[in-house]
Amino acid sequence: MDLLALWQRLPVTSHLFGWLVAGIVAVIAFHLTRTWWRLRHIPGPFLASFTNLYRMSWVPTTRAHLILQDVHRKYGEVVRIGPNMVSFSNPEAIPTSDFYVTLRPYTRSGGALHAVFNTTEEPILKQIKTLIAPLFNITNTTTFKPLVDEVLQCIRDRLEERFTATQQIVDMGQWLQFFAFDVMGTMTFSKRYGFLDEGKDDNGMLGTIVDFMRTSAPMTQSPFLDRILRKNILADIFWQAVRPTPSLAILSFVAQAIREKKEKLEKGDSPASSHTDFLTRYINLQKENPDTIPAWAPTAWTFSNVIAGSDSVGTVMRTLVFNLLVYPHTLQKLRDELEAANLSRPFPRYSEVRDLPYLDACVQEAARIHPPFALPFERVVPKGGITVLGHYLPEGTVVGGSPDVVNRDQNTFGEDAEFWRPERWLEGDSSHKRKLEGSILTFGAGRRVCLGRHVGILEIKKLIPFLVLTYDMRVVDKEKFEVENSWFFFQRGFYAQIQKRPEVQQASLD
């Protein structure tokens, strides 16, 4: 019996089902073909042409940055890593994509919360960024120097009580993180979080941030799945029943801090001064501009301070100190520069260290070699399309550059770009340094450049000279140092022994 005769003998329902299946297959085939065809000229893994699940699968390994490096080595500077996603190892700054939507905390009443670092809509970005941008400029940032000194005194006291006197091994990475968070807590709320005082993450905030990023990181690679699985009322009800969303704990902390601050302001308990904290300024800005600044803006700004304002600085600090200890000749070179500068002791003034060339080179190299954010910064190709590095990208294509990949471009940073070498920032003339500075993606680029970068540099350049001039430090079992890429670069296993330098010890006795 031939196939036609067999088909004719089947009941009508079977015919309809067969046509339905054939139709579905045809639609899927058409969709896959169209998806592949649009960017067929861009090299990359075959599976990535059809689904974002390919790059999404990298994230749970916590090694997505290394996988992407390998992909670029194999396919070149321009690589297709998703149906509509192209990765560059030398990206250009263009408008943002839905990547940042996945990093917004979700509330059932208000939906996803916009913040400066996760907002894609240009009108909203302008609305919530323009008025606070002056708070983060160099001039205003330097008014926080006394607050940094206050936290410096705290970390000095804790290190000497717990470690220099006892010679116990210190989890140096953790204590540097504590310092970064307590500085931002002081700047934002006029009080430390208490990490340095307690010597631990007593309220679980650091753990909550790690959980938030681990949850969000896979979704950054597929915003469509994020909307289905997380950013809707039904998903929110389900996840709250199964496992509370980490971002809600952070939002609750922020909401409570705002309530307490507003109560103090209404009572007149917070006198105006040159050291008015960020939260007070946020609240006053919204109060003075109710027609242009939404009521949720202080929450968004404060959320950014808590999430992005501390972890990123802590990452650069750990990277800098760890590499100084692993490469002791660079530590000695930095110490020589600091001693020759005749700095104030024990805490050098920012004006004394701000422009020291080798210190600046060390900060730049730490930010380059280990950026705090390690998944691609994504942008959307504007109307009309663009041609980049000889490849035409049609309108609507999502492009991105991972800071970890871009910052290791050997054509820009040299064949030793994988390694710590601060001297690269001091080679050549001033135009060479400007080229290097413009080539790293650590703090973003263009309109999306990190607002708090000057705050971070202030913290780092105040802390590092104090540590280098005051203590002899020795890394313990450097092989234990490891990183986890969950969009934020989490580091752990940086242990050290520290003791006061003999001349510092003698000076204190005198």
Residues 443 and 366: their CA atoms lie apart, in Å, by 12
With b for 16 or more beta-carbon neighbours within 10 A and e for fewer, the 414-450 pattern comes to eeebeebbbebbeeeeeeebeebeebbbbbbbeebeb
Q: State whether the Cα torsion 382-385-387-393 is positive or negative.
A: positive
pLDDT digits (tens, 9 = 90+) for 391-408: 888 888 888 888 899 899
- Residue 353 and residue 473 in one domain: yes
In a domain, 414, yes or no: yes
pLDDT at 102: 34
Residue pair 403/371 in contact by the 8 Å Cβ criterion: yes
DSSP state of 113: P
pLDDT at 91: 45
Residue 112 parent element (H or E): strand 111-112
pLDDT digits (tens, 9 = 90+) for 168-178: 999 999 999 99
Residues 223 and 230: their CA atoms lie apart, in Å, by 10
- Please tell me the least confidently modeled range out of 69-83, 92-106, 334-348: 92-106
Residues 238 and 304: their CA atoms lie apart, in Å, by 26
Residues 468 and 457: their CA atoms lie apart, in Å, by 16
Kindly report the average pLDDT of the chain as a whole number.
81
Give the gyration radius of the chain's Cα atoms.
Answer: 26
Three-state DSSP at 384 gives coil
Residues 71 and 87: their CA atoms lie apart, in Å, by 10
- Please tell me the least confidently modeled range out of 221-235, 251-265, 391-405, 491-505: 221-235
Residues 457 and 488: their CA atoms lie apart, in Å, by 18
Q: What is the pTM of this model?
A: 0.83
Assess whether pLDDT exceeds 50 at residue 385.
Answer: yes
Residue 281 parent element (H or E): helix 278-288
- Residue 213 and residue 360 in one domain: yes
- Residue 26 and residue 56 in one domain: no
Residue pair 72/405 in contact by the 8 Å Cβ criterion: yes
In order, the DSSP letters of 461-473 are HHHHHHHHHHEEE
- Please tell me the least confidently modeled range out of 263-267, 364-368, 460-464: 263-267
Residues 320 and 67: their CA atoms lie apart, in Å, by 24
In a domain, 508, yes or no: no
Residues 299 and 245: their CA atoms lie apart, in Å, by 17
In a domain, 316, yes or no: yes
pLDDT at 111: 43
pLDDT band at residue 224 using 50, 70 and 90 as cut-offs:
low
In a domain, 12, yes or no: yes
Count of domains for the chain: 2
Assess whether pLDDT exceeds 90 at residue 472.
Answer: yes
Residue pair 464/321 in contact by the 8 Å Cβ criterion: yes
- Residue 11 and residue 61 in one domain: no
DSSP state of 48: G
pLDDT digits (tens, 9 = 90+) for 196-223: 999 998 878 888 888 777 777 666 655 5
Task: Work out the percent of the chain whose per-residue pLDDT is above 90.
Answer: 38
pLDDT at 118: 43
Query: What are the DSSP E strand ranges found in 451-503?
Result: 471-476, 482-486, 488-492, 495-500
14: which residues sit within 8 A by CB, 6+ positions away? none
- Residue 341 and residue 233 in one domain: yes
- φ/ψ of 488, rounded to 5, equals -70, 145
Task: Dig out the tokens for 288 from the structure.
Answer: 């003075």
Question: What are all long-range contacts of 30-36, with beta carbons under 8 Å and residues at least 24 apart?
Answer: 35/83, 35/84, 36/83
- Please tell me the least confidently modeled range out of 5-19, 37-51, 437-451: 5-19
Residues 134 and 216: their CA atoms lie apart, in Å, by 30
Q: Which of 402, 385, 441 is nearest to 99 (CA)?
A: 402
- Residue 174 and residue 193 in one domain: yes
Assess whether pLDDT exceeds 50 at residue 49.
Answer: yes
In a domain, 289, yes or no: yes
CA 326 to chain centre: 24
Residue pair 442/407 in contact by the 8 Å Cβ criterion: yes
Cross-strand bridge partners of residue 80: 86
- Residue 52 and residue 33 in one domain: no
51: which residues sit within 8 A by CB, 6+ positions away? 82, 83
Residues 392 and 380: their CA atoms lie apart, in Å, by 13
- Residue 107 and residue 35 in one domain: no
In a domain, 505, yes or no: no
- Residue 197 and residue 311 in one domain: yes
Q: Which of 219, 208, 212, 231 is nearest to 59 (CA)?
A: 219
Q: Exposed (0-12), middle (13-18) or buried (19+): which is 204, by Cβ within 10 Å?
A: exposed
pLDDT at 90: 74
In order, the DSSP letters of 332-351 are HHHHHHHHHTT--SSS--HH
In a domain, 507, yes or no: no
Geometric angle at alpha carbon 198, from 196 and 200, rounded to 5°: 85
CATH code where residue 100 lies = 1.10.630.10
Residue pair 377/91 in contact by the 8 Å Cβ criterion: yes
Assess whether pLDDT exceeds 60 at residue 276.
Answer: yes
Task: Dig out the tokens for 509 from the structure.
Answer: 């006795």
- Residue 115 and residue 13 in one domain: no
pLDDT at 397: 86
Assess whether pLDDT exceeds 90 at residue 421.
Answer: yes
In a domain, 58, yes or no: yes
- Residue 23 and residue 82 in one domain: no
pLDDT band at residue 120 using 50, 70 and 90 as cut-offs:
very low
Domain that holds residue 232: 46-500
Residue 401 parent element (H or E): strand 398-401
Helix ranges (DSSP H) in 80-232: 122-129, 138-141, 145-159, 172-189, 195-198, 205-220, 223-229
Residue 154 counted as an annotated binding residue: no
Residue 53 parent element (H or E): helix 53-56
- Residue 135 and residue 171 in one domain: yes
Residue in the block written with tokens 């501009």: 289
Residue 18 parent element (H or E): helix 12-38
